[in-house]
Amino acid sequence: MMNPVQRSQTLFFETYNMRPSKVSFAPGRVEILGNHTDYNEGYVMPFALDRGTSVAGRQRDDRICRLVSSDFDGLVEFSVDDIVSDPARSWSDYPKGVLWAFRSEGVHLTGWDGAIASDVPVAAGLSSSAALEVATALVLEGLWGLDWERMRLARLCQKAENEFVGVKCGILDQFSSLFGQPDCGLFLDCRSLDYSVLPMGNTGVSLVICDTLEKHNLIASKYNERREECEAAAASLARFDPSVRFLRDVSLSLLREHGQDVPEPARRRAMHVVTENERVLAGRKALEEGSLEKLGRLMCESHESSRRCFENSTVRLDFLVEQARSLPGCLGSKLCGGGFGGCTVHLVDMDKKEEVARRLEDAYKAWCGLAPRLHCCGIGGGARVE
Per-residue pLDDT, averaged over 215-229, amounts to 76
86 has catalytic annotation: no
Amino acid at 79: S
Q: Give the mean model confidence (pLDDT) for residues 14-25.
A: 98
Q: Which one of the listed residues 93, 173, 211, 249 is annotated catalytic?
A: 173
The pLDDT value recorded for residue 219 is 52
- Which region among 127-136, 207-216, 298-307 has the lowest average model confidence (pLDDT)? 207-216
What is the average pLDDT across 71-80? 96
Compute the mean pLDDT over every residue in the chain, rounded to the nearest whole number: 94
pLDDT at 143 over 90: yes
Q: How far apart are CA 48 and CA 44, in angstroms?
A: 13
pLDDT surpassing 60 at residue 246: yes
Task: Give me the mean pLDDT over the 131-136 stretch.
Answer: 98
With CA atoms as reference, report the closest residue to 337 among 306, 364, 367.
306
First to last CA, the chain: 19
Interval 281-285 mean pLDDT: 97
Give the model confidence (pLDDT) of 81-123 as tens digits.
999 999 999 999 999 999 999 999 999 999 999 999 999 987 7
User: Cβ-count burial of 14 within 10 angstroms (0-12 exposed, 13-18 middle, 19+ buried)?
Assistant: exposed
| Domains of the chain from N-terminus onward | 4-199 (3.30.230.10)
List, in sequence order, every residue forming a beta bridge with 168; answer none if it has no partner: none
pLDDT at 200: 84
Q: How far is CA 115 from CA 121, 234, 286, 382, in A?
A: 17, 43, 41, 20
Mean per-residue pLDDT for 53-63? Answer: 97
Query: Model confidence over 346-385: pLDDT tens digits?
Result: 999 999 999 999 999 999 999 999 999 999 999 999 999 9
pLDDT at 201 over 80: no
Residues forming beta bridges with residue 47, ordered by sequence position = 30
pLDDT band for position 223 (cuts 50, 70, 90): confident
Determine the average pLDDT of the residues in 337-349: 92
Task: Tell me what the mean pLDDT of segment 244-254 comes to.
Answer: 98
Q: What is the pLDDT of residue 217?
A: 56
